[in-house]
Structure 1
Amino acid sequence: MRVLVMLAVYGLLVFINIRGVREGAGAVTVITFAKLLPPLLFICVGIFFIHASNLAWSGWPSSKSLGDAVILLIFAFVGIEVALIPSGEVKNPARTVPRSAYLALIVTTIIYLMIQLVAQGTLGANLAKYPDAPLAESAAKFLGNLGRTILLAGASISAFGFVTSDILSSPRMIFAFGRDGALPQFFAHVHPRYRSPDVAIITYATLAFALSISGTFEKLAVLSNVAVLLMYLLCCAACWFLVQRDVRSDGEPFNFPGMKIVPALAILAIIWILAHATLREFVVTGIVLALASIMYLLRGQLRRKS
């Protein structure tokens, strides 16, 4: 049943996105609005049912427990870098984009903290007894079965929203690789009527569907986080060199006290988080990188010969 539902979801999203970016973007907008309502309701109502005694800490978690939680939690913050994509169309991007990214992170973090506060404050130690749907059980404490249903529906909408936005944006990378010669030209095919990258969309959706049925969310999320954190690590290293050399473009860059040491601190934090990944996750990531590198080199050789 799970496979059939996921097949239907991916099939629907492929159909929507092949019909054009406007339809895909419209679906993302509607779903984004819909998925925000349940958590906001959860926070606004649940905050009045918090018991202070439930917020008491029994002790600080071990480094391993904290690291194992963080390497999964990073998934909730991944994607902030997409704010860089439209930088060329933004006025004074050197200052505007960083400010927007920081603001988005602050707002998102506050929402996450408030959700945790309500869940912990209403369930207390019992929160750990509901690993599958803790927010739904928390909502049931002050909104009854209706609250549980609303939060479960919200979780489903949120997951659907993530997949929707992913199918909208990620296939464009495959299309760009095909257009630029990093992948076969076939992947740069455009639908004759809707002018959408249909082959790239179908290819990406097929790969995503295959991966989604091959493992649990936790395993796939951590695997994804390892790859993303490695990319972040390289970006932080590049940022450190750029800041030290005072490299700038498009006006005065965004700055704040301690700016020069933040990339170094971020590198240390990323290394600490990655230290909690398993050997399997590094091996899988390494294999993917190796295959991608080989494919890139082969395509380069073929292009030079032609």
Structure 2
Amino acid sequence: MTMTLGVTPPRAISLGGAVLINVNAAIGAGIFALPALLYAGAGNFAPLAIMGFAFAYACLAGVFAKLSTMFEQSGGPQLYAEHVFGRFAGFQVGWFVVCANFAGRAANFHVLVAYLAALFPVFGGDVARLVTVIALIALATFISVIGTCRAIGAMWVGTALKLAPILLLAGYGLIANGLPGAVALPEFSEGESVILLIAYAFSGVGVAMISAGETKAPTTTIYRSIFLSLGFVTALYVLIQLAYSVTVIEQDNPDVPLAAMGEALLGQTGVTMISLAAIFSIATNQLAGFVVIPRILFGMGRRGLLPPVFAHVSPRFQTPSVAITFFGAVVALLAASGTFARLATMLVAAEQIFIAACILALIILWRRGEGRVAQTMGPRWLAIIGMAIVLTIWLTSQVPINAALSTGLLAGVGTLLYFLAGANTREGEATRFVG
């Protein structure tokens, strides 16, 4: 392998590509269980709850979007933490984000194969399931390595195949049954669980910021993509929730609510449509992760936080091939060994850590008056950041104490790795603030 450590991948991700990444990062397996859970907790009020939360979440998304206008390198939260708080904090944030995705991706490949086995029983055996999981991980790795444009193209196809059946069924359901009738506020005791479910559903709408180094005009493209993605995801969730609310579901507690809705509307054809949509939904969600998350490893390699081999760019495909291959290999190892479940329990608080790091980074950059930050952030940002802080504190308060302690243990492991890897002494590319 010829080392090309001074080379950077081309800026191949357009606004459409960035929106596509964000949308697929947010919409995975959860959308197929969410309608029933929200309906059970909020009834016909659920669509309004989704829209209301979207406005609150826009403040948190605004923090990510604003930070994305200040940097052109890859890394996202890891880069922002490194620039503001230093190399150690940057390493820890990168460590948490990557570990969370190692565990999440490994788990979701098992979910994907479970959906495949439901349609095609040949994938249901123990050996067949494991072989299929490893083969799918290898395929996602291969698609990500052979070119960013090819990976984006595959995501476009997968997105069309997952959204078409969902939109068709939701539209048919509303045409056949009309809009929901009376709307009643949910009981206060149900409110927290409903908000937590919706918060999970929006998670991921800003991940395109991680691949800023490969995005065209990143300081404007990513900013726009975050809000366009948030709007699209909100509209889709509301449409599905409206259709589910007016469809008579025979089962009291369906395992896959959208499949139950499909059966109620179109019989077995509807079930098959939703099952196929679920397969493509999880697959494109996984592919989005394989395209984006290795860019954290790549950025850390370029900036000296990881060995320089992680900064290698394939001369043929112009992608960070070592970072992508390493990511795929670890996901495969976790998926095959089953240890992803244990790792996932240690990372419950990981998302709150990097969200908090982003909020604090923006506040400190504003206070420093670095670049043009002070000129571009008026008094309205006090309200935006305030709402983001309130939302983050509330989400953090939902994390069980034992899970938080496990996350702290993982931080200790990250600290050990930081010094063992020599990340505190290795030289690399500096963070570049362009805001």
Structures share a fold, TM > 0.5? yes
Per the alignment, residue 261 of structure 2 pairs with 138
Residue 13 of structure 1 contacts residue 164 of structure 1 at CA under 8 Å; is this kept in 2?
yes
Residue 16 of structure 1 contacts residue 24 of structure 1 at CA under 8 Å; is this kept in 2?
yes
Per the alignment, residue 114 of structure 1 pairs with 239
* 1:78-227 mapped onto 2 (5 Å cutoff): 78-84=203-209, 85-86=211-212, 89-90=216-217, 93=220, 98-123=223-248, 129-130=253-254, 132-191=255-314, 193-212=316-335, 214=338, 220=344, 226-227=349-350
Question: Unaligned stretches of 5+ in structure 1?
Answer: none
Whole-angstrom CA distance in 2 between matches of 1:196 and 1:239? 30
Per the alignment, residue 387 of structure 2 pairs with 265
Residue by residue, what CA displacement relative to the aligned partner does 1:51-93 show, whole Å, maximum 9, x if unpaired?
Answer: 767876584251xx54445445434322332344549843973
Over 3 Å counting, the alpha-carbon distance change for 1:91 and 1:297 in structure 2 is: closer
Over 3 Å counting, the alpha-carbon distance change for 1:225 and 1:279 in structure 2 is: closer
Deviation at 1:302?
A: 4.9
The TM-score normalised by the length of structure 1 is: 0.79
* 1:276-291 mapped onto 2 (5 Å cutoff): 276-291=398-413
Residue 67 of structure 1 contacts residue 276 of structure 1 at CA under 8 Å; is this kept in 2?
no
Deviation at 1:163?
A: 0.7
Q: Which has the higher helix share?
A: 1
The TM-score normalised by the length of structure 2 is: 0.58
Over 3 Å counting, the alpha-carbon distance change for 1:303 and 1:22 in structure 2 is: same
Residue by residue, what CA displacement relative to the aligned partner does 1:228-273 show, whole Å, maximum 9, x if unpaired?
Answer: 2221123223434556777663896477x84322211221122112
Deviation at 1:111?
A: 1.1
Per the alignment, residue 43 of structure 1 pairs with 170
Q: Is 1:74 the counterpart of 2:199 in the alignment?
A: yes
Over 3 Å counting, the alpha-carbon distance change for 1:97 and 1:224 in structure 2 is: same
Per the alignment, residue 15 of structure 1 pairs with 142
| RMSD, aligned α-carbons | 3.6
Whole-angstrom CA distance in 2 between matches of 1:207 and 1:128? 40
Deviation at 1:164?
A: 0.9
Deviation at 1:182?
A: 1.1
Residue 75 of structure 1 contacts residue 225 of structure 1 at CA under 8 Å; is this kept in 2?
no
Match for 1:129: what amino acid? N
Deviation at 1:170?
A: 1.4
Question: Unaligned stretches of 5+ in structure 2?
Answer: 1-127, 428-435
Residue 122 of structure 1 contacts residue 141 of structure 1 at CA under 8 Å; is this kept in 2?
yes
Whole-angstrom CA distance in 2 between matches of 1:251 and 1:90? 22
Over 3 Å counting, the alpha-carbon distance change for 1:99 and 1:20 in structure 2 is: closer
Deviation at 1:133?
A: 0.7
Count of residue pairs the alignment pairs up: 295
Q: Secondary structure at the match of 1:129?
A: coil
Deviation at 1:109?
A: 0.9
Q: Secondary structure at the match of 2:270?
A: helix
Q: Is 1:303 the counterpart of 2:426 in the alignment?
A: yes
Per the alignment, residue 12 of structure 2 pairs with none
